[in-house]
Amino acid sequence: MTSLNNYQKNNTAAYYKDLKPDLLHEMTICQCLSSKDSPYIKLLTKEESYGELIGNLIKSKIATPKIVVEIGGGYGTLMNGLLKVIKPDKIFMVDLSSHLLERQRGTLNNFKNIEFINSDIFDFLENFDKKIDLFICNEVIGDLETTIEVSKSDFEKDFDLDTSYLPDTFNLNTGALKLVKSINGKVKFGFISEHSSTFELPSKYKDIINDDRKNLSPREIKLFGHSEFTINFKMLVEYLEQNNFYTTKKHFFDLLPLRDDQLIRFVLASHSNQTDFHEIINEFYNHIFEYESILIQEKGN
- pLDDT per position as a tens digit, 137-191: 999 999 999 999 999 999 999 999 999 999 999 999 999 999 999 999 999 999 9
Task: With a cut of 50, list the residues of the chain below it in pLDDT.
Answer: none
Residue 40's contacts (CB-CB under 8 Å, 6 or more residues apart) are: 32, 33, 280, 284
> How many other C-beta atoms are found inside a 10 Å radius of the C-beta of residue 279?
14
Say which amino acid occupies 36.
Answer: K
Tell me the C-alpha distance between 295 and 58, whole Å. 9
Res 20: pLDDT: 82
Res 22: pLDDT: 77
Give all strands of the β-sheet with 9-10 in edge-to-edge order: 9-10, 146-151, 169-172
Tell me the C-alpha distance between 15 and 169, whole Å. 27
For 237-253, b/e burial (b = at least 16 CB within 10 A) is: bbbbeebbbebebebbb
Res 1: pLDDT: 63
For residues 69 and 130, the answer to whether their CB atoms sit within 8 Å is no
Tell me the C-alpha distance between 140 and 173, whole Å. 12
Tell me the C-alpha distance between 293 and 196, whole Å. 9
The single-letter DSSP state of residue 215 is S
Say which amino acid occupies 156.
Answer: E
Residue 270's contacts (CB-CB under 8 Å, 6 or more residues apart) are: none
DSSP-assigned beta bridge partners for residue 91: 68, 114
For residues 67 and 90, the answer to whether their CB atoms sit within 8 Å is yes
Say which amino acid occupies 5.
Answer: N
- CA nearest to 284, candidates 209, 192, 216: 209
Tell me the C-alpha distance between 218 and 173, whole Å. 8
| Phi, psi torsion values for 67, nearest 5 degrees | -120, 125
The CATH number of 2-298 is 3.40.50.150
Res 18: pLDDT: 82
- The angle subtended at Cα 257 by Cα 251 and Cα 263, nearest 5°, is 100
Q: What is the pTM of this model?
A: 0.96
